[in-house]
Amino acid sequence: MNLIAKEIAEKLNGTVVGDVNVQINKLAKIETAVKGSLTFLANPKYIKFLSKTRASIVLVSYDLKIKINHDFTLIRVADPYVSFTNLLIEFAESRKNNLTGIEKTAVIHSSAKVNEDVYIGHNTIIGEYAQIEEGVKIQSNCVIGKNVKIGKNTFISSRVSVLENCKIGTNCILHSGVVIGSDGFGFAPQKSGEYIKIPQIGNVVVKNNVEIGSNTTIDRATLGETIINDGVKLDNLVQIAHNVEIGAHTVIAAQSGVSGSTKIGKYCVIGGQAGIAGHLIIGDDVKIQGQAGVINNIPNGKSVQGNPAMDYKSYYKSYVLFKKFPDFESRLRELEKDI
């Protein structure tokens, strides 16, 4: 993708300072940028790289004063970070849109409905009665099961499995290794001490504009649906158990796990390695700090931390005391000696 400074400034509502016709074909970090690339400066700690960068174009804010001699062209914008992100999105989309057609090694069942405007990669399998809508890109070595529906413009990276009866909405991104619709962890204990597997006959519904990180798994419901609502973002290595529902625009960081039948509200932020027990209700706008262990319901707007998780402020008050326990013990022993 080739762009000139004038075009970029128009896209970003920015102002060019320098050569309006300088061309770039890549995006880069300021410290590693080379000629022909565009970079940005948003964080003050990276100003030291400005005198050394070899980028052709640098995005900066309107109020940044440049005190060095430079060969690069500036584009001044309201928010360099947001502007650079928008360009990243455009570059990524242009790369995806280059993929068209169906590779010869793909296997598509005769009953599947596959739109003409799709890409199906090498060794990918499309099962019976699957529906693949316009603009979908499915890379190599994927399995799309029976009765699966995938909405418009969804991008599925390599080695993804979307198993039978599951539904994926529009404009979703599934990264490499994702598994949608694996069996929920359901076993009935017997008097003998053995466990009998409970059939998992529900499905998973992933709605629109959802992004799911590499090697994340979402289990199908025992009955009914496991639901991932609009705009949810799941990091790598996240486990979502059967019959969980995650509210719109909630984000969950890596290595977190949500146990069965828990309902998580809208606009929540859940840190890495958090664990949430089953059958809980987590309200809207909740913040769960990394490595928290949640064993109780959480009302709207609360922030929690710790294991077991407690109110964020209470946790830090307790932690201050906890750090002082060795000192308390020493002082107590000295007092005992005196007594």
The alpha carbons of the chain give a radius of gyration, in whole angstroms, of 26
Interaxial angle between packed helices 80-97 and 5-12, expressed in degrees from 0 to 180 and rounded to the nearest 10: 110
Q: Taking a C-beta distance cutoff of 8 angstroms, is the pair 37, 55 a contact?
A: yes
Specify the residue for token string 């699966």.
148
Half-sphere exposure of 153 (CA within 13 A, CB side): 8
Backbone dihedral angles phi then psi of residue 13, each to the nearest 5 degrees: 55, 45
Q: Identify whether the C-beta of residue 145 lies closer than 8 Å to the C-beta of residue 165.
A: yes
Please say if 122 is a catalytic residue. Answer: no
Choosing from 122, 175, 242, 279, which is the catalytic residue?
A: 242
How far is residue 329's CA from residue 331's CA, in Å, rounded to a whole number? Answer: 5
Dihedral of alpha carbons 67, 70, 73, 79, sign? negative
Residues annotated as part of the active site: 242
